[in-house]
A and B are shown apart, each in its own frame.
Chain A
Amino acid sequence: MIFSIPLGHWVELFINFLKEHCGGFFNFINDNLDNLMGLLTSLFLVINPYILIILLVALIWFFSKRNVALWSGIGLLLIYNLSLWEAAMETLVLVICATLLALLLGLPVGILTAWSNLVHRVTMPILDFMQTMPPFVYLVPAVILLGIGRVPALLATVIFAMPPVIRLTGLGIRQVPVDFLEVAEAFGSTRAQKLLKVQLPLALPTIMAGINQCIMLSLSMVVIAAMIGAGGLGGEVLRGLQRLDIPRGFEGGLAIVILAIILDRVTQALGQKDKRKGN
């Protein structure tokens, strides 16, 4: 090979540029998010686990069905019994924060893709790129910009988990039947009124499916995120792997599965509740 394109070098230059010129900004984000996540985690841990489990079961029962609540309770008790409670809470906080951030960024972008064909055409390949890229790759810039810790792990998770939110928000809004838009127009709605009173409510079941996928993807990132210091259940599995500690790895993995099933059922139930209301 006589000439090879220095693509990787360019990316490195860009990352370095970001680090040099926006270092303060990244430090600011890092500190604040880290504090927030620490606060949330200690909030979950300050409550007696039994009381928290009862509260969670009650909450799940309210949003979902009795059976789901019952099995969730058993699963959470099992996690506590395996002394993985603290790790589980750390992971839960990571997933919650990642999902909220993904929504915060993804919903507006999703709305824009529904409004503008240009934005749609530009965004979709980027989303494909984000989803096909092996998630390990996100760890590199995250570590360089933010170092090791919870926040870079969060950042990598958000990048990995955000695409379905954008996609399904856009899809949901585009799928709203044109009849309803015509009604909104004919009665003199502004664009914001059309969005808030017609498009978003009617797209809600689809958006909820996006949120569900987002949570699942966040959970699937926890082991990878543990490699750059996310801790939690992912850390347990990672340590099990590194030390060939089969029990530890298995128990950690099982706890992740339990969390995943609970979150999946609850968000699905939320989506269906809205669907029942919506149709």
Chain B
Amino acid sequence: MKAKSFYWERRFTDTDKIKVQGLVKIFGSNPESALSLLDQGWGKEQILARTRQTVAVNNVNFAVREGEVFVIMGLSGSGKSTVLRCINRLVEPTRGKVFIDDEDVTAANDVRLREIRRKKVGMVFQRFALFPHRTVLDNVAYGLEIQGVERDERYARAREMLALVGLNEWEMALPDQLSGGMQQRVGLARALASDPDILLMDEAFSALDPLIRREMQNELLSLQSKVNKTIIFVTHDLDEALKIGDRIALMKDGSIVQVGTPEEILTRPADEYVAKFVEDVDVTRVLTAEDVMRPAGTVSLKDGPRVALRRMRKEGFSSIFVVTRDCKLAGLITAEEALEASESNKEDLSKVLRHDFPTATPETPLNDLIPLLAHSKFPLAVIDDQKRLLGVIVRGALLAALVRKGGMK
């Protein structure tokens, strides 16, 4: 998808921040024996029956780009949390390597591992796990405290983080005085306090009720646009994965079945399992303006009404968008108005422009576009935050997109 890759390249440098290679985790008393069976092609169930050991993660490979939100999704027992914990070695991998910034984490000694955990990797937990005996402020400052940062400095930093998540009023409260959503914000602030490059989020919003969860997802996205971390987010909730993930890895029985953008997962499922997984997804919530817009034929302000008319005839539209010299959207002109202007010899287009057409940003989801288009007789202009025209969406194109995705089942 051309449009999507454009959208990413704005945000990511092309380097891999985290690389996971050939990761295997076996829980049991004699992992070596299970490992050799695994190499002989035995299945997970067979190994469990024969050796009473569980293959939690089976040869997982992926790379996460800097600044990316990478979602690992799967049902419970699919090994997603184990993969996450192998990255900072809360779970020791049985085999395979994990690289952070090209450093082999699996080869790090205790001291170095502690250093990586302290400086590079922050973690947010499903059940918040705020220390009940510490105030909110002391919870957020925990990471800095164990690094030996002076009290004043770490409190200043912790207050900064609490302000970032909007809880600066609560610094002296104890965790149990806070609601679930607030507690998880504290958890987020705690993970961010030592300014790690990487955030590991283990089902971070799963314990929250749906309304709060959605709010937290939005907040995470807006926070991410400010802090720009590399985030690995584990969830079992497909809607959540589609909403916050730049890319999604779908796991089943300890293996990754597919890695791709939300749209790739939806439109080109790798196998039947993925297809079944995504069949109930409401595409209007996942596809965005960017996915259905098409390049706009435009005229420049300096062109006269006759050029505009000719261009409309060529494109087959009854109206056309007018842009300034630096591609910023100036307005819209209809065929009738252009005709009238050319007959009365009004050469300056800026006098006859209209502004009552709908606009949207590339990230606007389809279900928000539908009412906009339904109430307008003009096409919708997709513009960026500098008011540059990126593309247009006409009613027909939107319907076509919906039909196409609908036929995917």
| Residues of A near any B CB (own CB < 8 A) | 177, 179-180, 182-183, 185-190, 193, 197-198, 201-202, 204, 277-279
- Complex Cα distance A177/B125, Å? 13
Flag B80-115 by CB within 8 Å of A: 1 or 0 each. 000000001010000000000000000000000111
A186 in contact with B88 (CB, 8 Å): yes
A188 in contact with B123 (CB, 8 Å): no
A193 in contact with B146 (CB, 8 Å): yes
Partner of A182, one of B115, B129, B133: B129
| Residues of B near any A CB (own CB < 8 A) | 88, 90, 113-118, 121, 123, 125, 127, 129, 131-133, 142-143, 145-147, 174, 176, 190, 194, 200
A190 in contact with B132 (CB, 8 Å): no
Contacts of A197 in B (CB 8 A): 142, 145-146
B90 in contact with A186 (CB, 8 Å): yes
A278 in contact with B132 (CB, 8 Å): yes
- Minimum C-beta distance from A191 to chain B (A): 10
Contacts of B114 in A (CB 8 A): 188-190
Contacts of B129 in A (CB 8 A): 177, 179-180, 182-183
Contacts A201-B133, A202-B133; is A190 near B123 (CB within 8 Å)? no
Contacts of A201 in B (CB 8 A): 131, 133
- Complex Cα distance A200/B137, Å? 20
A180 in contact with B131 (CB, 8 Å): yes
- A to B CB contacts below 8 Å, 23 in the list: A179-B125, A179-B127, A179-B129, A180-B131, A183-B123, A183-B125, A183-B131, A185-B90, A186-B90, A186-B123, A186-B200, A187-B123, A187-B143, A187-B146, A187-B194, A188-B113, A188-B114, A188-B116, A190-B146, A197-B146, A198-B131, A201-B131, A202-B131
CB-based A-B contact count at 8 angstroms: 60
- Minimum C-beta distance from A205 to chain B (A): 10
Contacts of B90 in A (CB 8 A): 182, 185-186
Partner of B132, one of A187, A188, A202: A202
- Minimum C-beta distance from B193 to chain A (A): 9
Among A180, A182, A183, A193, the one with the most B-chain Cβ atoms within 10 Å of its Cβ is: A183
Contacts of B194 in A (CB 8 A): 187
B117 in contact with A185 (CB, 8 Å): yes
Known A188-B117, A189-B146, A202-B133; further 6 A-B contacts with Cβ < 8 A: A179-B127, A186-B121, A187-B146, A188-B114, A188-B116, A197-B145
Contacts of A186 in B (CB 8 A): 88, 90, 117, 121, 123, 200
A278 in contact with B123 (CB, 8 Å): no
- Complex Cα distance A86/B142, Å? 49
Across the A-B interface, the 9 shortest Cβ-Cβ residue pairs: A188-B118, A188-B117, A179-B129, A186-B123, A188-B114, A187-B143, A201-B133, A183-B129, A278-B133
- Complex Cα distance A185/B113, Å? 10
- Minimum C-beta distance from A253 to chain B (A): 40
- Complex Cα distance A201/B145, Å? 16
Contacts of B121 in A (CB 8 A): 186
Closest chain B residue to A277 by CB distance?
B133
Closest chain A residue to B129 by CB distance?
A179
- Complex Cα distance A183/B200, Å? 12
- Minimum C-beta distance from A65 to chain B (A): 22
B115 in contact with A188 (CB, 8 Å): yes
B146 in contact with A279 (CB, 8 Å): no
Closest chain B residue to A192 by CB distance?
B146
Among A177, A183, A187, A197, the one with the most B-chain Cβ atoms within 10 Å of its Cβ is: A187
- Minimum C-beta distance from B125 to chain A (A): 6
Contacts of B190 in A (CB 8 A): 187
Closest chain B residue to A202 by CB distance?
B133
Contacts of A183 in B (CB 8 A): 123, 125, 129, 131, 142
- Complex Cα distance A197/B88, Å? 21
- Minimum C-beta distance from A183 to chain B (A): 5
Partner of A188, one of B143, B174, B200: B143
- Complex Cα distance A252/B143, Å? 55
- Complex Cα distance A189/B145, Å? 10
